[in-house]
Chains A and B, each alone.
Chain A
Amino acid sequence: MLAAIGVMTAIAVVVGVVLGWSAIRLKVEGNPLAEKIDAILPQTQCGQCGYPGCKPYAAAIAAGDADINQCPPGGEDGVKKLAELLGVEVKPLDETHGTPKPKSVAVIDEQTCIGCTLCIQACPVDAIVGAAKQMHTIVAAECTGCELCLPPCPVDCISMIPVACDLPHWKWKPPVFTLKLVA
């Protein structure tokens, strides 16, 4: 009986010491707050916030360099979630960074495309496939609708098509409470 307790205690102590030591030794340097913020951001990598992507923006928010209302694709909902995470006041979206639009994907008009590869270089998520002087096309599942491919296109063959509300995209509408003014 005593031997059994002793053995289990010994195993527990050894495992505990090794794990404790490795927890210090193998500590991952990273900013857990920035990662949490990054998880809330919509990952469109559109750069409308003024940073080169969602991760840099998340790092800037975590460092206190950027405000939480600079992300139009995230919309009011995203601002609310960020405010909740960071414990700050909700504020309206900053209009200078753009306005929220319905979620859409880019579509290339393949008749007009001249195969210049400019949009491929602009795409932050590698959603466009094609080669020089070959027709390009967009992988709809990868497209985040960031519109970064629109300006470089020399023949304006890319258009934004809003995502239709079909079965895979349907979501419950958020509940709406109407506030009554009392006296």
Chain B
Amino acid sequence: METYFLILISTVFVNNIVMAKILGLCPFMGVSKKLEAAIGMGLATTFVLTLASGASYLVNEYLLGTELFYLRTLSFIVVIAGIVQFTEMFIHKSSPVLYQVLGIYLPLITTNCAVLGIPLLNVQEQHDFVESLFFGAGGAIGFTLVLILFAGIRERLETCDVPAPFKGTSIAMVTAGLMSLAFMGFAGLVK
């Protein structure tokens, strides 16, 4: 039990996928303009990432094994693409509003490098099935957390008196850097 808790804390705060590993920056910059869209994107990514890390663990363990390791990236991508397609259909059915808000970013989860990165890290760190699930869910919760925090900051920045050369993406980049520095403060909390 303690291991799982440590994995969660470690992936959400210490080794945050966006802030410490610098993965998944595309949706981090792209979908953080509106808080609502950020929450939706975070939830969709959490769903996809948890399923993807479980499914890719099974694929890696029972289909690929040690001799077919070179198929890892390829087969993970196929599995992730399938899961994203499934998620898209599921959201279209269950919440048309969220479907419209997410728009193009939903199929783009396929190319979110965090979603491929976490299954690959799972293999590298030799997690078992449940640990993989927790690692995936924790990474996704960390991603959602920073996405929501960042969207909140950016919504406030909109109304701020930002010097003209820094307006828009540049101040967002500076903010992302400062947030990353702040997350460095968690280093050493858990191994």
Contact = CB atoms under 8 A, between A and B. Distances in A.
| Size class of the contact patch on chain B | 10 to 19
Given A3-B68, A4-B68, A7-B63, A22 B89 contact: yes
The DSSP consensus for interface residues of chain B is helix
Nearest to B67: A3
B92 A12 contact: no
B89 A23 contact: yes
A7 B76 CA distance: 12
B93 A26 contact: yes
Interface string B141-155: 000000000000000
A12 B68 contact: no
B99 to A, nearest CB: 9
Interface residues of A, number: 15
A8 B74 contact: yes
B93 A12 contact: no
Interface string A9-25: 01110010011001100
Nearest to B82: A15
Contacts of B78: 8, 11-12, 15
B20 interface: no
B75 A11 contact: yes
A28 B91 CA distance: 10
A10 B90 CA distance: 24
A11 B79 contact: yes
A8 to B, nearest CB: 7
* Pairs of residues from A and B, 6 with the lowest C-beta to C-beta distance, nearest first: A15-B82, A26-B93, A26-B89, A7-B63, A28-B92, A22-B89
Given A7-B68, A19-B86, 10 more contacts: A3-B68, A7-B63, A7-B64, A8-B74, A8-B75, A11-B63, A11-B79, A15-B79, A22-B89, A28-B92
